[in-house]
């Protein structure tokens, strides 16, 4: 089977064609996905993308999924994983109700506010979510750390002096190569331009977050299904993190951890469609 992993980040498998805006090793192909997929029509049996579409404007998401449809073979499967807006909203309402009656739930309520909003409004890398991650790690706050692990799959209980990987969870473990140097030069240039803007206007004109860090849209089961349908996909179905119509999908350890638990906690929606 020909398998395509779109915007793979650090979650990829050598048996797949893995593409991303950044290529950190030989198993990942650098592709500007918003310019189209550099593959022929009807090339792949399976396409997969996890936590990418929420980082696209809606018009870009429509374009990318149309490209996926183009490169899939007839009968090919697309699996998309995104944060579940419905689930986040339900949990937020649950926690605001609990916190209004019992302040023991205040920390969980504050986390849900961040989970819902922080990646949409942050103006600096990591945002308030990153600051909270560091605080939890420093204080070894097991109760809140366990709740975040349950929600989004992030384990924050690391040694006090070790910065948790999630504080800069979009930073890739890059090697020194041409792509790395090009990106460093670009960000250095943008940083110089930013400093020329008056300080009180910088956060309005310049958003100092990494490419792909902010959420530009959110999906629930209806809007995500609509995205599939507009592209032409049929037999659209919701799956769990460990179920799929893709043969032997769990063998690739993409939506599960090595121990079989969810890589993204309970906060995501998993949807598949057939070309």
Question: Each residue of 43-102: pLDDT tens digit?
Answer: 999 999 999 999 999 999 999 999 999 999 999 999 999 999 999 999 999 999 999 999
Q: Identify the pLDDT of residue 171.
A: 43
**Six-digit token string for 175:** 């090697």
Query: 5: helix, coil or strand?
Result: strand
- Segment 2-24 mean pLDDT: 95
Over range 246-266, report the average pLDDT: 97
- Predicted confidence at residue 213, as pLDDT, reads 86
In this model, does residue 167 exceed pLDDT 90? no
pLDDT 10s digits, 183-200: 556 556 556 666 666 766
Mean pLDDT of all residues in the chain?
88
> Do residues 46 and 15 make contact, with C-beta atoms less than 8 angstroms apart?
no
**In this predicted structure, what is the pLDDT of residue 24?**
80
Phi-psi category of 7—alpha, beta or left, where left has phi over 0 and alpha has psi -120 to 50? left
Q: How many Å apart are CA 167 and CA 131, to the nearest integer?
A: 7
Residue 158 is encoded by which pair of tokens?
């690391």
CB 54 within 8 A of CB 82: yes
Phi first, then psi, for residue 116 (nearest 5°) are: -80, -40
pLDDT band at 3 (very low <50, low <70, confident <90, very high): very high
pTM of the entire predicted model: 0.85
pLDDT at 125: 84
- Which of 85, 89, 18 has its CA nearest to residue 50? 18
Structure tokens at 214: 């902010």
Handedness of CA 156, 109, 215, 246 (dihedral sign): positive
In degrees and rounded to multiples of 5, residue 4 shows phi and psi of -120, 125
Which pairs count as long-range contacts for 127-133, CB under 8 Å and 24+ apart, including other chains?
127/209, 130/166, 130/167, 130/168, 130/169, 133/164, 133/166, 133/167
Please write the tens of the pLDDT for every residue from 88-145.
999 999 999 999 999 999 999 999 999 999 999 988 889 999 999 999 999 999 999 9
Residue range 193-228, pLDDT digits in tens: 666 667 665 555 555 667 778 999 999 999 999 999
Asked whether the beta carbons of 7 and 46 are under 8 A apart, the reply is: no
- Per-residue b/e over 130-141, b at no fewer than 16 CB within 10 Å? bebbbebbeeeb
Query: Would you place residue 161 in the very low, low, confident or very high pLDDT band (cuts 50, 70, 90)?
Result: very low
What is the distance between the alpha carbons of residues 224 and 222, in angstroms, rounded to a whole number? 6
Q: What is the pLDDT of residue 168?
A: 41
Do 128 and 111 touch, CB atoms closer than 8 A?
no
């Amino acid at each position: 089977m020909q398998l395509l992993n779109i915007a793979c980040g650090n979650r990829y498998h050598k048996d797949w064609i893995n593409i991303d805006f950044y290529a950190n090793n030989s198993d990942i192909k650098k592709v500007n996905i918003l310019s189209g997929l550099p593959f022929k029509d009807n090339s792949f049996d399976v396409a997969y993308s996890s936590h990418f579409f929420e980082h696209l404007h809606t018009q870009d998401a429509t374009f990318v999924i149309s490209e996926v449809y183009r490169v899939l073979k007839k009968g090919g499967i697309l699996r998309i994983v995104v944060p579940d807006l419905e689930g986040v909203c339900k949990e937020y309402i649950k926690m605001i109700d609990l916190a209004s009656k019992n302040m023991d739930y205040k920390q969980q309520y504050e986390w849900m506010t961040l989970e819902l909003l922080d990646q949409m409004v942050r103006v600096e890398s990591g945002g308030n979510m990153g600051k909270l991650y560091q605080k939890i790690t420093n204080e070894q706050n097991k109760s809140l750390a366990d709740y975040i692990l349950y929600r989004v799959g992030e384990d924050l209980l690391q040694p006090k002096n070790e910065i948790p990987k999630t504080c800069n969870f979009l930073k890739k473990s890059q090697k020194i190569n041409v792509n790395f140097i090009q990106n460093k030069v670009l960000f250095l240039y943008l940083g110089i331009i930013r400093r020329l803007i008056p300080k009180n206007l910088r956060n309005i004109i310049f958003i100092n977050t990494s490419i792909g860090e902010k959420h530009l849209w959110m999906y629930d089961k209806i809007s995500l299904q609509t995205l599939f349908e507009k592209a032409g996909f049929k037999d659209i179905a919701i799956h769990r993190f460990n179920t799929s119509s893709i043969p032997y999908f769990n063998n690739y350890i993409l939506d599960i951890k090595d121990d079989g638990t969810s890589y993204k906690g309970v906060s995501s929606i998993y949807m598949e469609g057939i070309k």
